[in-house]
Chain A
Amino acid sequence: MRSLSGPGSSDAAIRLTGIVNAFGPHVVHDGLELTVRRGEILGLVGGSGSGKSVLLRTIVGLLRPRAGRVEVLGADLFALRPAARRALQARWGVLFQDGALFSSLTVRENVQVPLVERLGLKGPLLDELAAVKLGLVGLGADAADKLPAELSGGMRKRAGLARALAMDPEIVLLDEPTAGLDPIAAAAFDELILSLHAALGLTVVMITHDVDSLVRITDRVAVLLNKRCIVATLEELRAYDDPWLRAYFGGPRGRAAIAAGDKED
């Protein structure tokens, strides 16, 4: 928990400036700016095709933007030498949409992959740390020796999260963590993220379509609109004058979720 060791060099975990992403003539992001503060939970929303996943891939360095600068934990990601970039990669964890678990390995081995490959861990400590991470996401010993194909969707996501947490990252990026889960499992996953955020002091960036999740756990929300990005709290966004946002929060689902959230507060 490096962030618990006091204020770091900068209070921004991720800073994107002037990002331009395009596929052929199709421009997805045009001069996008986004700053994620250390220790916050940021929700990332936008319509279909607005480039949420593209933005996530840009942040973790899978996609080089056509222009702009990606700064993660104070380092310019695309200017780093390969070795330094690999070291930086150990400081974030990514949960892909369906877990992206290695299908030929058991859940336990999946969590152990980064520990073995990056630290050369072996012996009892390796099994113990994997067990701790699986315990943190609420997976028991019975799930540890199963193959990903034998798990339900919700368990695959938990296992994927355990793997993302294996290297004790400071930032976790989640791509639609509650999509495809039933409401009970989705709510449980929200609680899990909240509790991990509190226990491990994580910075969380979360793509989601789930207004309930947004209301329940995010500190701020980034909205992809017109190839750019606005960041604000939910209240500010509800007052914002934009047809898409009005439809998003003003629609029956959005209103119900927000009403439920207000009642809780």
Chain B
Amino acid sequence: MVAAGAWTVDHAVWLDRQVQQRLGALPASIRRLTVRLDGLDQLDAAGAWLLERSARQLRAAGVEVAFRGLSGPRARLVERVGEAAGETLLAPPVRRTWLGRELERLGATTVAMIGEALALLAFLGAIVTTLLGTLVRPWRLRLTSFSAHVVQTGVEALPIVGLLSFLIGMVLAFQGASELTRFGADIFTVNLLAISILREIGVLMTAIIVAGRSGSAFTAQIGTMVVNEEVDALRTLGLDPMEVLVLPRVLALVVALPLLAFFANVMGLLGGGLMIVLVLDIPLTLFLEQLRTAATPMQLFVGLVKAPVFAFVIAMVGCRNGLRVQGDAASVGRLTTQAVVTSIFLVIVIDAAFSILFNVLGI
């Protein structure tokens, strides 16, 4: 038999098919096969493997195989490739059926979720412990870090929170008015606006924006520090990452988010009021009079009391995911995304719980 031409990886598919055909066509009685290779123009590792594999197949079938006309370096290449394949072959990857794969994934995800919920509770405990420790020794609070985070998460979020709340207020007023005018109750648009902004929309919108803006930033900041081994360095220096990294962020957000939510309330009422006064032709005095009866301090309180809780949850999830980062940069990205999803999910669940609570209390 003769092998000639270019035995390279570029032609591997075609060569593979040809070799299999030729070997299949050999008479079963054959005992010896000499392959002449002096016509070989090019040979690389892929080509060498095809030669070596054919020889192995034939030898397994009891045929003696000899390669003739193989130059020194090429013979060494075939030998080296044979050795290399011997170490790894033939262990094909484990292949499962579709159902098996999906079941395995379902189980793994469930276990991971339960573990994650427990770990989050443990982290909550760790934060509270650190917080109590700081209450006893208030001078251990990192004021510089705390104020820097108040600026980053609060002051710098003012424009985006303000603008979005203003727009939402306008939309709310407009939608409410277009329904309520049909019943001749357009003045109650003011009540709709005041109650929905103050009780729900203002604080919820703020929490969602902050989760996307600052919760993710916490994960990315702390996660990057973990990858750079900065967190390990802190520990070896005798500093507690909970105290240095986590607590300032949590406290900063607990301070900043209620303030932001109040600002969002004001901007939402402004946007809605502008819409009502300009488009619905309700005089400003009448609007203000109606607003005074609708926007009671109680409504404001019911909304704002939720803000610190949301802030705590967002900061906790953000920091926890940052500390969960392991090794590579890819996990920073994955956990950042996950931090946003988890914290928005928790914010809405807690909001629903608050609604039920207020309903029971009759507020």
CA distance A103 to B326 in the complex (A): 13
CA distance A104 to B331 in the complex (A): 10
For A191-206 the 0/1 string (1 means CB < 8 A from B) is 0000100111100000
Q: A119 contacts which chain B residues (CB < 8 A)?
A: 9-10, 12-13
CB distance from B126 to the nearest CB of A (A): 26
Q: Indicate whether B104 reaches chain A with its CB closer than 8 angstroms.
A: no
Q: Indicate whether A2 reaches chain B with its CB closer than 8 angstroms.
A: yes
A5 closest partner in B (C-beta): B42
Q: Indicate whether B192 reaches chain A with its CB closer than 8 angstroms.
A: no
Main secondary structure of the interface of A (DSSP, over half): helix
Residue among A1, A115, A141 with the most chain B CB within 10 A? A1
Q: Is the CB of B330 within 8 A of A104?
A: yes
Q: Is the CB of A1 within 8 A of B74?
A: yes
CA distance A168 to B16 in the complex (A): 17
Q: Is the CB of B53 within 8 A of A135?
A: no
Q: When the two chains form the complex, which single residue of A121, A141, A145, A165 contacts B13, counting CB atoms closer than 8 Å? A: A121
Q: Is the CB of B90 within 8 A of A131?
A: yes
A108 closest partner in B (C-beta): B93
Main secondary structure of the interface of B (DSSP, over half): helix
CA distance A120 to B9 in the complex (A): 11
Interface size on A, residues (CB 8 A): 38
Q: Is the CB of A141 within 8 A of B91?
A: yes
Q: Indicate whether B24 reaches chain A with its CB closer than 8 angstroms.
A: no
CB distance from A105 to the nearest CB of B (A): 11
Q: B41 contacts which chain A residues (CB < 8 A)?
A: 5
For B33-76 the 0/1 string (1 means CB < 8 A from A) is 00000000111111001000100000000000000000101101
Q: Is the CB of A132 within 8 A of B84?
A: yes
For A122-166 the 0/1 string (1 means CB < 8 A from B) is 001101110111111011110011001100000000000000010
CB distance from B77 to the nearest CB of A (A): 5
A residues 177-191 near B (Cβ < 8 Å) are: none
A141 closest partner in B (C-beta): B91
Q: Is the CB of B73 within 8 A of A201?
A: yes
Q: Indicate whether B81 reaches chain A with its CB closer than 8 angstroms.
A: yes
Q: B92 contacts which chain A residues (CB < 8 A)?
A: 124, 127
B79 closest partner in A (C-beta): A199
Q: Is the CB of A2 within 8 A of B44?
A: yes
Q: Is the CB of A120 within 8 A of B83?
A: no
Q: Indicate whether A62 reaches chain B with its CB closer than 8 angstroms.
A: no
Q: A127 contacts which chain B residues (CB < 8 A)?
A: 92-93
CB distance from B319 to the nearest CB of A (A): 22
Q: Report if A135-B9 is in contact (Cβ < 8 Å); known contacts: A128-B49, A168-B46.
A: no
Complex A-B, nearest 9 residue pairs according to Cβ-Cβ distance, in ascending order: A135-B84, A168-B44, A141-B91, A131-B88, A199-B80, A103-B330, A136-B84, A135-B88, A135-B87
B residues sitting closer than 8 Å to A (CB atoms) are 8-10, 12-13, 16, 41-46, 49, 53, 71, 73-74, 76-77, 80-81, 83-94, 326-328, 330-331
A residues sitting closer than 8 Å to B (CB atoms) are 1-2, 4-5, 103-104, 108, 115, 119-121, 124-125, 127-129, 131-136, 138-141, 144-145, 148-149, 165, 167-168, 195, 198-201
Known: A128-B89, A129-B9, A132-B49. 17 other contacts (CB 8 A): A2-B44, A4-B42, A103-B330, A115-B9, A131-B84, A131-B85, A131-B89, A133-B45, A134-B88, A135-B83, A139-B88, A141-B89, A165-B45, A168-B44, A168-B46, A195-B80, A198-B76
